[in-house]
Amino acid sequence: MMGGVSTIDAFVESLEASGLPPLLSRKHGGEAFRAGVVTGDLGPLRFAELRTPAGECFRDARIARGDDGGTWQLYLLTRGRVRAEQGRSVAVLEPSDLVLIDPARPVQFAGTETTNVTVLVPRASLRLHADEAARLAGVRIRGDRGPGALVSALVKDMVRSATGFRAAEAARSAAAITELISVALSAQLGDLRLAPDDALRSRIEGYIEARLSDPDLSPAKIAKNHHLSVRRLHRLFEDQPLTVAALIRRRRLERCHADLAAPGRTVASVAARWGFSDPAHFSRLFKATFGYTASRAAADQRQEDLVHDLGQDPVRDGRDAPRRVLGA
């Protein structure tokens, strides 16, 4: 068990000792950094309660490749508000909501000051097929009804209550909790199967993903290729965090962000490759989305890669380079 810390470096040390999948971050809100982590084990399950400041964090492909793929990460929000993105899924979480995260894949989080509980569950215990896992990862599971509510209520206080168990009791209790999580995930899969709009929206998102480099990609073109009216297309996305146009723009910007790390590529060439014909407009959008310029992102990523290759600590000066600070 570990308590609160008041510096990023101290929190980094706490997280490294907690065993949680690492994340990188570029910014945090507030003048003073206050965070904390408390961990506990119950049989094969690891619980961790984190108190984190407002900010954004992510796990990129390079870090994700370092995960051994042995666990799933069930994330429960108990205070604050969080937006989690993995793959093509976006989960906007309120207190008591849950989301399943795959530590072996990139993920992004953005949130207010929060308290959350993470459960690391052995993959073999949840018995998820690859297609089921792909459909569940990054999808909001409501914590106010059905099996999700039961899991939410049970997990909320497990960090502090998972003590005083004999080995056999811990193993049986962990098996019961894992089974409840499986029930909640199965119920979520059932909800997904019963929603034809979700299936259609998923196909449209896949279509968008495959054609991001098309400069003519637009809601009108998407609607035509799916035999929909533009109005019907917009209605499909009206309860989603992003409109169709905003989704196209966001995913293009994320592709640009990833490509800027490659050597020999200019900001203008990367922007043009992903459908941004106006470099000035692209630069404004990039900074508004990520909080720093495209040229700075390219420079920071190349510096981080160089330091990584040299086996040194990337946080060695006062610059706003990515730092491993959260284990959400």
**pLDDT tens by residue, 143-162:** 999 999 999 999 998 888 88
Highest CATH level, class, for 4-193: mainly beta
Which tens digit of pLDDT belongs to each residue from 106-135? 999 998 999 999 999 999 888 888 878 888
Radius of gyration of the chain from its Cα atoms, rounded to whole angstroms:
21
pTM of the model: 0.58
- Please give the pLDDT value at position 328: 39
What tokens does 164 get?
């005083």
Which tens digit of pLDDT belongs to each residue from 61-99? 887 767 667 899 999 999 999 999 998 899 999 999 999
For residue 186, the Cα-to-chain-centroid distance in whole angstroms is 21
The mean pLDDT of 235-243, rounded to a whole number, is 87
Looking at every residue in the chain, the average pLDDT score rounds to 82
For residue 229, the Cα-to-chain-centroid distance in whole angstroms is 32
Residues linked to residue 98 through DSSP beta bridges, in sequence order: 76, 141
| Topology at the third CATH level for domain 196-291 | Arc Repressor Mutant, subunit A (1.10.10)
Phi, psi of 209 (to 5 degrees): -60, -40
Which tens digit of pLDDT belongs to each residue from 297-317? 777 656 655 554 555 444 344
The secondary structure of residue 102, as a DSSP letter, is: -
Residue ranges of domains in the chain: 4-193, 196-291
How many helices (H) and strands (E) the chain has is answered by: 14, 13
